[in-house]
Structures are given as structure tokens and as C-alpha cells.
Amino acid sequence: MKTFTCANVPEGHFTFDELLELDLVKDAIRQLKAVPHPQKQKVKTLVFTMQYIDVVAAFDKEKNGTVLLGEKEKHHLMLAVDDFVESNFDEILKRFTKQQREILRNAVS
């Protein structure tokens, strides 16, 4: 069985700035601003969204767009990314610059 590895945000398929410009990320930010959750949870959800988008893009690039993920595969991938972000959030956040962390916090506030 072939394994797939990818980099973590913000050093993944997309740059930090590219991720922030994606419509999916902009929509997530709008939705997160509207909910009354603690800022840390909102940032974690935003990082999850960014990581998931990045993983799907990296997978698509590796497969040269020849493999479409079905709903079952997308669901399993989403769960894996969620588990990864939940388990490693503090370490993931350290990969962002101080300025990027501030941008994330301000984006969801």
C-alpha cells in the first residue's frame, strides 16, 4: 500500500497568503466570526479548514488530478485531518509566524 505524506500549513501546498485568498477559507472566516465560540476554538477550526484544503490540493497534485475522492474518502480524510489538528494544535500553531498567528486570531474575531 502506497502512503501519502504532505506538509502542514503554513508550509504545505499553498502559502499562508494563498490560503487566506481562497473562497472556502473566506467563507469559513465569515461563518466563524458569526458564532459565539472562544477565539482559540475558532482559530483551531480555521487551521483545520486550511489544513484540509491543503491536503486535498496536495493529494490532487500528487495524483495529477487522476483520482477523484468519493464521499467516503473525503469523510475519512476529514476525520484524519481533524484528529491531527486536534492532537497537534499547539505544535502546528508554532509553525506560523507571530504575525500569521495574529492574522488568524484577528480574522475570526
User: What is the torsional sign of CA 69, 71, 73, 76?
Assistant: positive
Q: In tens digits, what is the pLDDT along the chain, a chain of 109 residues?
A: 445 455 677 777 899 999 999 999 999 999 999 999 999 999 999 999 999 999 888 877 766 665 667 788 888 888 999 999 999 999 999 999 999 999 999 999 9
Closest among 77, 38, 44, 13 to 22, alpha carbons compared: 13
The whole-angstrom separation of Cα 69 and Cα 45 is: 22
pTM equals: 0.86
